Structure 1
Amino acid sequence: MLETNSPCKITLNGQDYVLWQSASGEVSALNNVCPHMQAPLSNGWICEEWNTIICPFHAVEFDGSGRLLRNDEWSRVPLAEPLELIIDGDFIWTYGGFEPRLPIPDLHRKVASEYEFLGVTAQRSIQSDFLSSLMINYDHDHQNGTHREFFKVKSTRSTFLEKDGVYAKVSQVAEKDDYTSEEIEANPMLGAIPEVMNNFLEYVFPSTQFFCLNSPDVKTYQGHILYPETENMTKTFILLYAKFSNSELKSIMQDSLLNAASIVVQQDADCLESLYPRQKAKIHLPNEEIMFYAEELYKNWNHSLVV
């Protein structure tokens, strides 16, 4: 997702940052606010010779540690504020300047080593607080409503297979109606979904949900990523991995799989952005134990941050 020598703006916990990657693969990140006259550094450009980012306002430039370069000399101390990054293979993690309270999950590295990466999809900023956005990923009942037309789910049964702190593995059995030939022609991946789906999901609170869809033709791992941009905005995207029964299926199904994942996120986002303020539920559905587990983790995590 991070192109070479191209500034990339991210927002995390109400703060904007700029990331960039050199041709050699070195990744740097700074507070996006230029310390001169507060221009957004992400609107600037990269000097490949020095691996610096250049402010679009006055063309002053900074390296990845925040030092100013002027007349081929570096400032003795950083003037722009750097963001500490943790590079783990192809993944970039950060605690956003806060004290680490949870470890970097190794599930991403494990999936990436076993499955073929198909691409990134469903990049979106959702107008929703982080807890609401988080809980919909742990909600195993909303398929019957939110995704009813696309996936034609008739019933879902979900149970914990493993629960160890912030990690959980969930088994999901879902029954669906048949698709028409026209629907399969429009979305080839639908033809690979059996009438009874035996899926499982792996969660690493608070950032990650991997949804594994099993079928005779393809096995997909959909990595749903979440993080808070602001108090009422949540960023999401999907890292999609797969194994195909034969190489020809990839060319037929890759775009369809990416599109289907994007539709799921779009439907979830539309639902989240239409909700009224949260109140205590007066109705309970069969699979909510998994959602309550996430809510409890959030409450304990949030309390520890406040204290």
Structure 2
Amino acid sequence: MNPTLPGAPWMIAHRSMLGINKPYKLTLNGQDYVLWQNRGGEIFALENVCPHMQAPLSDGWICEANNTITCPYHALEFDGAGRLLKDGAAKGEPLADKLDLVVQDDLIWTYGGHEPRLPIPDLISTQIKGFRFLGVAGNKSIQAEFLRCIKINYDFNHQNGVHRELFRIQANLVELFEQKGVAARVVQTFLRTENTVNEILQNPSLLTLPKQIKNELEYSFPSTTIFKAQLPLGKVLQVFILYPEAEQRTRTFVLFYGNLQSPLFLIPGVKAVLERSLLDSTAKVVEQDVRAVADLYPAQKPKIRLPKEEILLYVEQLYRNW
């Protein structure tokens, strides 16, 4: 396939997604890769193809003693550079192709073998100071091209449609939109109605949501959207990530951070329940976005324009001008 936005930095995983000594398969721009992390925190990545008879390395296992990945077909071992292990030592030139990674704290980035055209953004590292990582939510594959997927993160108007049922959003007031190159910032306020008792019982995190939620969005094109909001129980920060798996398939996941402080947390078990509920709500948001984008018919020129759609034109222009 023709790569999407070659030279863009893609965050392909958070360290917590890899586990320890477990193969982790992913697809970027039509190519499958396998990643693994050893007990020392080192992370390695190879193309997911054994150079012998093309077995998927991700179906194999990690040899902890040798820090190698083992082919499931003939038990051949390869180190993180792609070299074949012989007599217990890696020898010769690499045979399995390596994927170069940039690991910043717990975030794993790659340029997918292309020359960098943008630096790795520092947006996440600067925004998460003072927050605690709560987990990953909504790790989903979307059956849609990358441009359609990224536009929903820049769409001010979809919350009171796509997410109305979950959060009872009636309106979204946009107070600020500013842009500078590949970076953009939005300040907005969600207006909600009350959730039903049954909805709250199914999703306790709804208890934490006021009728008006003032929030900010920070963007770093093409992969990263940060949502920040102040709730009664504290501050929440969600990092929405996208990268292209194939021409008509896009991967998304959300990193959830919180700075939560509430007297409720003195009650045994309440903090864990609310944090789990916040992650579940985020996963539901992703599911709704995934379904909305995947169900769209082929793109046509819009015959209707909604207020504040200039950010959609902005992100599409960045994409087209790449």
Does 2:239 match 1:218?
Answer: no
C-alpha contact 1:160 1:290 (8 A) present in aligned 2: no
> Which of 88, 97, 113 in structure 1 is aligned with 2:104?
88
1:166-214 deviations in Å (ceiling 9; x for gaps): 1111001121111223322321221221111111111111111111122
CA–CA separation in structure 1 for the residues paired with 2:212 and 2:19: 40
> Which of 51, 57, 63 in structure 2 is aligned with 1:35?
51
CA–CA separation in structure 2 for the residues paired with 1:48 and 1:251: 33
Q: How many residues align?
A: 301
C-alpha contact 1:17 1:29 (8 A) present in aligned 2: yes
Greater Cα offset, 280-289 or 103-112: 103-112
The corresponding residue for 2:160 is 144
Note the C-alpha offset of 1:252: 3.6
Which residue type is aligned with residue 112 of structure 1? Answer: I
C-alpha contact 1:4 1:23 (8 A) present in aligned 2: yes
CA–CA separation in structure 2 for the residues paired with 1:217 and 1:256: 13
Which residue type is aligned with residue 264 of structure 1? Answer: V
Does 2:120 match 1:99?
Answer: no
Does 2:25 match 1:9?
Answer: yes
Note the C-alpha offset of 1:74: 2.8
Structure 2 matches for 1:187-226, cutoff 5 A? 187-226=203-242
Note the C-alpha offset of 1:245: 2.3
Note the C-alpha offset of 1:159: 4.1
RMSD (Å), alpha carbons: 1.3
Does 2:134 match 1:118?
Answer: yes
Greater Cα offset, 71-80 or 270-279: 71-80
Does 2:292 match 1:271?
Answer: yes
CA–CA separation in structure 2 for the residues paired with 1:214 and 1:151: 16
C-alpha contact 2:82 2:97 (8 A) present in aligned 1: yes
Note the C-alpha offset of 1:41: 0.4
The corresponding residue for 1:258 is 279
Does 2:314 match 1:298?
Answer: no
Note the C-alpha offset of 1:120: 0.6
CA–CA separation in structure 1 for the residues paired with 2:135 and 2:282: 11
CA–CA separation in structure 2 for the residues paired with 1:69 and 1:289: 55
TM-score by structure 1 length?
Answer: 0.95
Which residue type is aligned with residue 185 of structure 2? Answer: K
Tell me the SS of whatever aligns to 2:99.
Answer: coil
Runs of 4+ in 1 over 4 A off after TM superposition: none
Note the C-alpha offset of 1:83: 0.4
Segments of 5+ residues of structure 1 without an aligned counterpart are 302-307
The corresponding residue for 2:8 is none
> Which of 45, 50, 64 in structure 2 is aligned with 1:48?
64
The corresponding residue for 2:145 is 129
C-alpha contact 1:128 1:272 (8 A) present in aligned 2: yes
Tell me the SS of whatever aligns to 2:80.
Answer: coil
Greater Cα offset, 147-156 or 5-14: 147-156
C-alpha contact 1:160 1:168 (8 A) present in aligned 2: no
Note the C-alpha offset of 1:231: 0.3
Note the C-alpha offset of 1:161: 4.8
Structure 2 matches for 1:158-237, cutoff 5 A? 158-237=174-253
Which residue type is aligned with residue 63 of structure 1? Answer: D
Which residue type is aligned with residue 54 of structure 1? Answer: T
The corresponding residue for 2:303 is 282
CA–CA separation in structure 1 for the residues paired with 2:277 and 2:312: 29
The corresponding residue for 1:305 is none
TM-score by structure 2 length?
Answer: 0.90
Which residue type is aligned with residue 277 of structure 1? Answer: P
Greater Cα offset, 90-99 or 153-162: 153-162
Tell me the SS of whatever aligns to 2:97.
Answer: coil
* Identity among equivalent pairs (%): 51
Note the C-alpha offset of 1:105: 1.1
